[in-house]
Amino acid sequence: MGFLDKAKAAAEQAATKAKETAGDMQTKRELGQCYVDLGRATFRLVEAGEVSSPTLDPLVEKIRSLEAQLDEGEAEGEPVAATASSDTTDSDAST
């Protein structure tokens, strides 16, 4: 096997590895988005009184506190990029 053959084989191997890594990264992003969607859905269920759990209580209180801080900032005229309660995803629209 000549030098060029070895270089070509190494390049093909690197390309294959890059594709696998890109696929893994996409899967990780999708998984992360699923966790976000699950969290939003869970928060809505807690707020509606349909779900209750001592494990969720501190997280729910933290979200409420952060939303209150954002609401105060909006009332004082501070610019706010987005709030957790107003964020929607494509998956929200499809469910």
The pLDDT tens digits for 51-92 are 999 999 999 999 999 999 999 988 888 665 654 444 544 444
Token code pair at residue 71: 């609401």
43 neighbors 58 (Cβ within 8 angstroms): no
Token code pair at residue 27: 């899967």
Q: Full-prediction pTM beyond 0.75?
A: no
Distance of CA 22 to the CA centre of its chain: 17
Angle between helices 57-75 and 3-47 (to 10 degrees): 90
Q: pLDDT digits over 18-47, tens only?
A: 888 999 999 999 999 999 999 999 999 999
